[in-house]
């Protein structure tokens, strides 16, 4: 981390070229139309709310939160944006990003999961599920279930972000091994040829259908599979 001395809190206008998006920001989805609407507002009124940043280099800064405003400012082709500069540790950044992200009305479950995982994986300070629960106002059961989503394969994560499957499907898939997840993902859908044409319409099946498929094709198979008693 850069040792540049900055006052506890300092406000200034900073060129976009000196700002870098944070790799730990759990937010990954930015709605295209909403970004362009914000860009139009910025062209008229500018960025009204400062971005929170921390110093990275002699002149460069990492965006703690405000990535949406930063991206919209790029679209609006403005030269500078107002920022609030604050020295923060990695743990403070991740915690601030998570809390800010949870306050969004459109937060994606995978973004919650990534934020919880980032806190849990910190070496210093160490967080437990109970401590994350207390910090975020979520129950330990809720935090644990969201953390489970970080075990999804990339194909499942991509389908989840594209809203092809719901959180109920994702939570069931997260309980499976990676190769089983790929099989079960396909079982989330059925093909409907009733409309005619050369291509079937893919329809998402209810969560209970996926649960039944898992019980019939994975759990039952494992239960009936022979095992070597010498390894017990």
What percentage of the chain carries pLDDT values higher than 70? 88
Integer Cα distance of 185 and 166 in angstroms: 11
Q: According to the model, what pLDDT value does residue 107 have?
A: 87
pLDDT digits (tens, 9 = 90+) for 101-121: 888 878 899 999 999 998 899
What pLDDT is attached to residue 143? 95
Q: Provide the 8-state DSSP code for 176.
A: S
pLDDT digits (tens, 9 = 90+) for 132-150: 999 888 999 999 999 999 9
Structural domain that includes position 106: 89-151
Q: Are 142 and 161 contained in the same domain?
A: no
2 plus 84 within the same structural domain: yes
At 222, the pLDDT band (50, 70, 90 cuts) reads: low
Total number of domains constituting the chain:
3
Q: Assess whether 106 and 23 both reside in one domain.
A: no
Final residue belonging to a domain, choices 151, 171, 200: 151
Statement: residue 75 has pLDDT above 90: yes
From 82, 101, 89, select the one nearest 54 (Cα to Cα): 89
pLDDT tens for 207-221 read 999 999 999 998 765
Residue 202 confidence (pLDDT) above 90: no
Instruction: Give the whole-angstrom CA distance, residue 23 versus residue 26.
Output: 8
The CATH number of the domain holding residue 104 is: 1.10.10.2830
Question: Quick check: bond before 125 cis, omega within 30?
Answer: yes
**Window from 61-75, 97-111, 160-174, 204-218 with minimum mean pLDDT:** 97-111
Q: 143 and 166: one domain?
A: no
Phi, psi dihedral angles at 123 (to 5 degrees): -85, -30
Same domain, yes or no: 162 and 189: yes
More confident residue, 122 or 155: 155
Q: State whether 147 and 212 are in the same domain.
A: no
């Amino acid at each position: 981390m850069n040792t540049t001395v900055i006052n506890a809190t300092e406000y200034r206008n900073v060129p976009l070229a000196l700002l870098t998006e944070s790799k730990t920001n759990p937010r990954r989805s930015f709605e295209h139309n909403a970004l362009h609407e914000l860009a139009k507002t910025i062209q008229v009124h500018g960025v009204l709310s400062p971005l929170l940043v921390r110093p990275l280099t002699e002149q460069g800064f990492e965006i703690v939160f405000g990535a949406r405003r930063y991206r919209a400012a790029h679209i609006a082709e403005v030269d500078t944006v107002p920022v609030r500069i604050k020295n923060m540790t990695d743990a403070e950044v991740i915690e601030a990003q998570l809390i800010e992200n949870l306050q969004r009305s459109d937060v994606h479950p995978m973004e919650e999961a990534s934020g919880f995982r980032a806190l849990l994986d910190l070496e210093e300070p160490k967080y437990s599920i109970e401590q994350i629960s207390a910090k975020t106002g979520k129950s330990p059961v809720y935090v644990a279930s969201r953390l489970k989503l970080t075990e999804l394969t990339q194909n499942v994560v991509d389908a989840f972000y594209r809203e092809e499957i719901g959180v109920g499907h994702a939570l069931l898939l997260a309980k499976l091994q990676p190769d089983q997840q790929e099989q079960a993902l396909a079982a989330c859908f059925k093909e409907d040829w009733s409309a005619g044409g050369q291509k079937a319409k893919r329809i998402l099946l209810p969560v209970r259908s996926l649960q039944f498929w898992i019980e019939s094709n994975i759990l039952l198979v494992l239960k009936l599979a022979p095992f070597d008693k010498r390894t017990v």
